[in-house]
Structure 1
């Protein structure tokens, strides 16, 4: 719900494998869950020919739209506003930690005030994030406004309590031996499907506390209000359902399993030299630098300590309330980094049915991406109608859903094939539901 369960892709590179690209490409992302594919694609544009890229993003869960707007805003802050290291760690904490540092909580509140103004004044949004278009219904924009208002409110949100209550319900009688259950999931499932970069200490710490990314010099104590779900106005305050996102896999898969620098994937004596946290930080610093400078990134270490072998002391984390975060001055942020020839459009899920009747979207999308939990919205005849000649279809596999075993994966593969039966003109690229992260198909043509 708040992060994807597949690694980030450079979608322009995926399309390039399919032949020569036109001067403008249109990419439809349905249920991507976060902005990982957008960030990596935009970051690595300088490696390919300079063409215009239009992203069309559809999410059924509006909290995910709000979170993506926040993360895009953080990722694209100019260097004078947020330095590279600071930006990366702010992004990681907001992205994957239930508890954040007071400075990050204060920053979130400042951005939330601004998003309230943006969502109610799209002209103002264009001055800050000119690459964003919101093609949403008024009720959806109203809901987003309530979400942003909750982020900057002082309403109670004890994320530690929310996390623990859901953990007790999920584990049942195994709760008293939860650390053993966490290690079993890691070693017997996560590592076996490609998650070897995730270390025991960071995974069990996240499962126990909801805090995925930690550093020696930081201490978290404030609720990350961007993880709230189902916000409903209740007078001057808000009611909500707490946290309803993933509690099994974690935010490690998207940026933390692979790296262009082989040093970060080094293992010795069966242990990782670096954590998935370190790989995530290394990759995000690269993406943010490439977006800002349109050139190759040369990594510079900020610490010589390798945390892959470290063992963490498990302590009980608590939310510490104070007036410090409440007293935030509204500050106008600067215009985000200019994304030349890039547009990001957020659309309503109703468009998936309306595409059939909108001729301007017929033969339109060069790449169509479907999240694994969004196959219920998949209509083969509509997909074939809106795909361009030699369009590429990507469907997420559920390999990193740790509760799934071979039987569930085979059922998912069977369900996917049934959905694809209505597409007549497609070329299947070999896909193993137990090994491959994505299923790929070429529509209306072949290589």
Structure 2
């Protein structure tokens, strides 16, 4: 299963959760197992909080989608990635600059070696030598290794995985977009543009043995089966996206993802709920207009799509509402160590475990939990390679961990139907 799931989790394998309804203001502590993930989180956070007068909502959304879910990006997106890499190098080496540019982000808990490695990652991002990360060849290599003898009939494999595994879980994802992503790793092709430059934010390193010797190998080690659509593309508050004609959805998971990201960014920037534009001159087709988000050709330019030249020009992105909001990056795999430090004693009201990190849900974490803390574990519902008995085993495993950590089930759940498992800490 590792060949398909990947060694590094670039996107979540369940729909995004909005925790702001549970706790505000938010102080968020992040523990990951890979520095490239932290680097990518910095990039996406910086993009989200770019000032709206610096990057327009449409362009910001498209940049996010490309960076988030595409192996190949546009030249404009590469330019943005390179510029942010320059900024991030300054941020990890100068916390005053970090506070000036991304005041809601705290890197002070990272080890010196980890900050040095982050700097190296950002230096790699700004290099434009296409030979350094030949992601198209890497993607194909992963496909060949995963499919083996089935490689030559891989389109049939994609159809089988879609119809027999994915469709029942998320049928808003259509077979065409899923098959296209499986083939080339491009999830979002919103513009009529050239997606021909490797997305270096999806590169990561592995230590591998060759002929008895250890070698550092850079490659694409992420998901090649489940897809980036699940995180933002299968649930939506706007019901018009789920309308059907002849039992077929009029919109796609790409449409929903684009709307959701645009809505999130609009609310962050302006503090109001995003409303889909309506074309008053076509009131008789209003239902169609509800589901339409503007598509822009590559040649079209206007002030709403200007990408910032530097972070110094976009400091206004630090909105006043962020004064009580802070994200702390903690050292890699440091969760077992936190209970030994007094500053984390009974600190956390909510703890979220992704399904790739749930093995850390152990009794040892109890000292950091407040009484009544909510423990949320991502289910394995959307891990397509799992069989029914493996889903059942996963539920048993997580439930056993919860019990030994003095956590009781908040409400009953089904491992094959529910996105998350929720527990309450009751010592």
Using the alignment, how far apart are the partners of 1:301 and 1:220 within structure 2?
30
Using the TM superposition, give the Cα deviation of residue 355 of structure 1 relative to its aligned residue in structure 2, in angstroms.
Answer: 2.1
Give the number of equivalent residue pairs: 383
Is the 2:34–2:332 contact (alpha carbons within 8 Å) kept by the matching residues of 1?
no
- State whether structure 2 residue 52 is matched by structure 1 residue 79: yes
* 2:276–2:290 CA contact under 8 A, matched in 1: no
1:371 aligns with 2:354: yes
Residues 1:3 and 2:11 are matched in the alignment: yes
Q: In structure 2, how many angstroms separate the alpha carbons of the residues matched to 1:298 and 1:304?
A: 12
Number of the residue aligned with 1:226: 201
CA distance in 2, matches of 1:349, 1:226: 18
Which residue number corresponds to residue 264 of structure 2?
287
Q: In the superposition, relative to structure 1, how do residues 216 and 143 fare at CA in structure 2: closer, same or farther (>3 Å)?
A: closer
Query: Hey, what does 1:351 align to over in structure 2?
Result: 334
Instruction: Say if 1:427 and 1:443, in contact at 8 Å, map to a contact too.
Output: no
Contact 1:4–1:253 at 8 Å: present in 2 too?
Answer: yes
The CA deviation string for residues 97-125 of structure 1, in whole angstroms up to 9 with x for no partner, is 01111111111111111111111112111
Q: Give the TM-score normalised by the residue count of structure 2.
A: 0.85
Name the residue aligned to 1:342: 325
> Do the aligned partners of 2:336 and 2:364 also contact (CA within 8 Å) in 1?
no
Q: Go from structure 1 to structure 2 and tell me whether the alpha carbon gap of 1:400 and 1:414 turns closer, same or farther (over 3 Å shift).
A: same
For residues 383 and 277 of structure 2, what CA distance do their matches in structure 1 show?
A: 34
Superimposed CA distance per residue, residues 69-102 of structure 1 (whole angstroms, 9 cap, x where no aligned partner): 0000111100111100000000000100011111
Q: How far apart, CA to CA, are the structure 1 residues paired with 2:309 and 2:269?
A: 28
Distance 1:436 1:162, change over 3 A: same
2:383 aligned counterpart, secondary structure: coil
Which one has the bigger helix percentage? 2
The correspondence of residues 170-319 of structure 1 with structure 2, limited to 5 A, is: 170-193=146-169, 195-230=170-205, 240-300=217-277
Question: What is the match of residue 31 of structure 1?
Answer: none
Matches within 5 A, 1:403-442: 403-424=385-406, 426-442=408-424
**Matched position secondary structure for 1:95:** helix
Root mean square deviation, CA, Å: 2.3
Q: Deviations over 1:345-384 (max 9, x none)?
A: 11114531222222232221111100111122221242x3
CA–CA distance in structure 2, aligned partners of residues 295 and 330 of structure 1: 27
1:121 aligns with 2:94: yes
1:100 aligns with 2:73: yes
Could you give the per-residue CA deviations for residues 378-421 of structure 1, whole angstroms, max 9, x where no partner exists?
A: 21242x32221221110010111110111111111121122123
Contact between 1:105 and 1:224, CA under 8 Å: does it hold in 2? yes
Whether 1:138 and 2:112 are equivalent positions in the alignment is: yes
Task: Decide whether the 8 Å contact of 1:363 with 1:385 is kept in 2.
Answer: yes
Per-residue Cα deviation, 1:6-42 (whole angstroms, up to 9, x for no partner):
11111132x3xxxxxxxxx5xxxxxxxxxxxxxxxxx
Give the deviation of 1:52 after TM superposition: 2.0
Q: Which moved more, 1:421-430 or 1:401-410?
A: 421-430
Give the 3-state SS of the residue equivalent to 1:56 in structure 2: strand
Per the TM alignment, residue 3 of structure 1 is displaced from its structure 2 partner at its CA by: 0.5
Deviation string 1:237-277 (CA, Å, 9 cap, x unpaired) is x9642100000011101110011111111122232211101
Measure the CA separation in 2 of the matches of 1:129 and 1:197: 36
1:306 is displaced (CA, Å) by: 7.6
Partner Cα distance (1:332, 1:152) in 2: 18
Q: CA deviation at 1:425?
A: 5.2
Q: 1:294 to 1:171 in 2, by over 3 A?
A: same
Indicate if the aligned counterparts of 1:147 and 1:231 stay in contact, CA closer than 8 A.
no
